[in-house]
Chains A and B, each alone.
Chain A
Amino acid sequence: MMEININSKIEIAKLVTKIENHDDDLSTWAIKNIKGAQIIGITGVFGSGKSTLISKLAVKFLSEGKRVAVLGVDPSSPFSGGAVLGDRIRMKDLNRYENVYVRSLSSRGKVGGLSYFTADVVNLFDALGFDVIIIETVGSGQDEIDIYNIAHTIVVIQVPTLGDEVQVIKAGQMEIGDIFVVNKADQGPADEKIREIETLITPRENGWIPKIIKTVAVRNQNIDELKNAIEEHYSYLKKNNMLYEKLILRLKYLLKQHITFELDNLMDSSISSQIAESLLKEKSITGSVNEILKILGEKYGEGRNI
């Protein structure tokens, strides 16, 4: 379909923009040209040090001669639809390297930690020949688990002092981590945090026992250890023929996102009630909600279409 110069950041950037704006042909091309990049997801609450850690981690891969793509997702405004994308502030070091491409994405109205087309952008990077793709999720919190569907290895970042041991046994992020990082380890009872995680964390569905690593990202402490743990997990997936399962998961997730995107758009349009009726036709909720909306419309709307 096309000739792309992978060394041209301008070309890559324009392609990402196209995908972000729902270019179906390009998404299809990307899927057909997936080469098998290593995909790493970094998640954790805002301020836990995701961006800094990614910057240090990316340098390790770059020094091995690998091509690295970094995707940072930040939240969009529910009111204006705009966004402030600030992940790059902590990634300035990467400007010294040629073989890395960094891109900030707005979540564009989607919850779950990624945007609708993040999987498509990842496929694009993969197809373009990047060896390693690192994704930073929005960082809002515990139910941010979309990344599980895209990344081979999930790194969940925790910091000392936040939350007690009950946080560790909750559903959500604690269930998807392959590696737990206790970052900012110099700023509180890090060992206590590690013990909490150690005591309560269970093996993952595929048998992998999560690793726990203590880091101080700003001082580059234990980043090698983190990198090794990521490699070890990736080898584990490879050795047990689990990489293809991850790819299946990613493609199914991608399809679901495309459907949700279309559906969300339709629900915002004037035919939303028809969509609801056709999807929920047997369900009593449709009728009652529509009835109430009608009453409210008559009472308060004065002819306005609610």
Chain B
Amino acid sequence: MRKIRILIAKPGLDGHDRGAKVLARALMEEGFEVIYTGIHQTAEDIVRTAIEEDVDVIGLSILSGAHMYHFTRVLELMKKNGLNDVLLIGGGIVPNDDREKLRDMGVAEIFMPGTPINEISEFIRKNIKRPS
């Protein structure tokens, strides 16, 4: 079976990466290949990495409050580069109103703190856009 590849990235000036690291490790334990880029990534960095690593999923961890900006920018660049078959998800502290807006914009799901890992991995397995 093909390995599902996931990019976990932290955009912008947000240094709180404990959650992203825990998730990267947990997804590894679920059998995924996780590319972890570390903190302070620009949207350009993230999309370039997603392209070069040929990932199925981009996961952004944002706790800074700048989620609307970063997701918008990443979505823009994904569209520009034709990454229509890549699933974009997020995690962090995002108010409900914004979550809905983000879903309307094309973010598949935003996972809030406390989400069980298997919920996330199930979601990924069910929703990836490329044949597995």
Contacts and interface: CB of A to CB of B under 8 A. Distances in A.
Interface in A92-131: 92, 95, 101-104, 106, 108
Among A10, A81, A82, the most chain B Cβ lie within 10 Å of the Cβ of: A82
Contacts of A101: 52
Contact of A9 (B2, B33, B38, B48): B48
Given A10-B81, A89-B38, A92-B45, A80 B52 contact: no
A82 B31 contact: yes
Interface stretch (A14-22, A52-60, A158-166, A177-185): A14-22
A77 B29 CA distance: 7
A47 interface: no
Interface size classification for chain A: 20 to 34
Specify the main secondary structure of chain B where it touches its partner.
mixed
Contacts of B25: 84
Interface string B13-52: 0000000000011011111111111100100110011011
Nearest to A8: B51
B31 A85 contact: no
6 contacts: A10-B51, A21-B2, A85-B53, A86-B36, A88-B49, A108-B3
8 cross-chain pairs, A with B, having the tightest CB-CB distances, nearest first:
A13-B54, A89-B38, A82-B28, A80-B31, A82-B31, A17-B54, A85-B35, A84-B28
Interface of A: 9-10, 12-14, 16-17, 20-21, 76-77, 79-86, 88-89, 92, 95, 101-104, 106, 108
